[in-house]
């Protein structure tokens, strides 16, 4: 005779909330990585990543340690989207071995001729929206940074600072500085093409490329050198035509470095100013020290003598 008795309910072992949290967190991590992976796959077919997508990808990039994956993320971040710092169509990589390296951006140089520099295998030319850089893979800093200023460009400056420094993925990893090199180094990340000169959001973002940065004494960066940058803008604002500006570091025989990539610390910093209309040139020459003060500018000929670089070959000063 069938029994009407219901089977006893099967006992299950309840998990405490604390025992479930780690698994839940792990699932969230897996989901985040999968989401970023999917985003990268989509990004390889499209240049349009949302700001939130970039921020999530950047967060994961700092956590993951795979150099191969980090290089892929770098390439994606610097993919050339119109709203992102690197515009690849304007940014060829070249050396000075027998050709004009800045053929894609001659507008930043007086007479459309770039400075004459002794060729080095690690020299690479980088064109940006508002400046051009000859970069050294030995020092991991610029040899020089060239700009063109005038009244219209200075009036357009004043963009909100992004303060998002980044390593330029166009440079080989062995030839560039990384963000970690500057952390706790005791030096500021000093712009050569100043953020305050940038006339549009793209140029502002690009100015935070580490290719445009040197290890600079903090007091100098925010003090005497900041005044030189401001005075140069004021001069360009009053000038009747174009003013060409070339800025760069100078290194002594005993070279101090920072970080694992051995980024060189310059002894001096210079800024050459050339007024095309008046055909006048002068240079600011500062020691890279906290207590550095602004002295009298030096002549163009003196700057050439001290650096060994002919900065204005198309002018004939």
**Residues that are catalytic:** 191
Q: Compute the distance between CA of residue 290 and CA of residue 1 in angstroms, rounded to an integer.
A: 100
Residue 126's closest CA among 102, 109, 98, 96? 102
Bridge partners, 265 (sequence order): 256
Sign, Cα dihedral of 226, 294, 311, 173: negative
Q: Compute the distance between CA of residue 48 and CA of residue 83 in angstroms, rounded to an integer.
A: 9
Question: 3-state DSSP: the chain helix, strand, coil percent, rounded to 5?
Answer: 35, 20, 45
Number of H helices, E strands in the chain: 9, 11
Q: Compute the distance between CA of residue 233 and CA of residue 40 in angstroms, rounded to an integer.
A: 41
Q: Compute the distance between CA of residue 254 and CA of residue 256 in angstroms, rounded to an integer.
A: 7
């Amino acid at each position: 005779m069938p029994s009407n008795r219901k089977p006893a309910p099967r006992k299950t072992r309840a998990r405490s909330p604390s025992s479930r949290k780690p698994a839940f967190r792990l699932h969230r991590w897996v989901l985040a990585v999968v989401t970023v992976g999917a985003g990268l796959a989509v990004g390889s077919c499209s240049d349009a990543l949302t700001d939130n997508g970039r921020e999530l990808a950047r967060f994961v990039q700092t956590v993951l340690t795979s150099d191969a994956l980090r290089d892929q993320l770098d390439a994606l971040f610097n993919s050339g989207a119109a709203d992102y710092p690197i515009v690849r169509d304007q940014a060829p990589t070249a050396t000075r071995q027998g050709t004009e390296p800045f053929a894609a951006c001659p507008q930043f140089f007086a007479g459309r001729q770039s400075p004459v520099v002794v060729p080095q295998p690690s020299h690479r030319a980088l064109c940006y929206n508002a400046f051009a850089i000859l970069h050294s893979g030995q020092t991991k800093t610029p040899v020089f940074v060239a700009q063109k200023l005038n009244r219209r460009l200075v009036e357009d400056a004043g963009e909100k600072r992004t303060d998002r420094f980044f390593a330029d993925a166009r440079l080989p990893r062995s030839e560039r500085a990384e963000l970690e090199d500057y952390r706790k180094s005791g030096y500021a990340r000093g712009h050569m093409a100043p953020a305050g000169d940038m006339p549009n959001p793209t140029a502002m973002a690009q100015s935070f490329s580490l290719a445009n940065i040197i290890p600079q004494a903090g007091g100098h960066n925010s003090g005497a050198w900041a005044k030189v940058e401001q005075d140069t803008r004021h001069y360009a604002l009053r000038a009747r035509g174009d003013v060409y500006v070339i800025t760069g570091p100078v290194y002594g025989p005993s070279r101090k470095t920072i970080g694992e990539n051995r980024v060189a610390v310059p002894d001096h910093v210079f800024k050459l100013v050339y007024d095309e209309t008046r055909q006048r040139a002068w240079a600011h020459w500062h020691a890279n020290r906290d207590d550095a003060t602004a002295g009298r500018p030096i002549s163009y000929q003196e700057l050439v003598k001290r650096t060994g670089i002919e900065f204005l070959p198309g002018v004939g000063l």
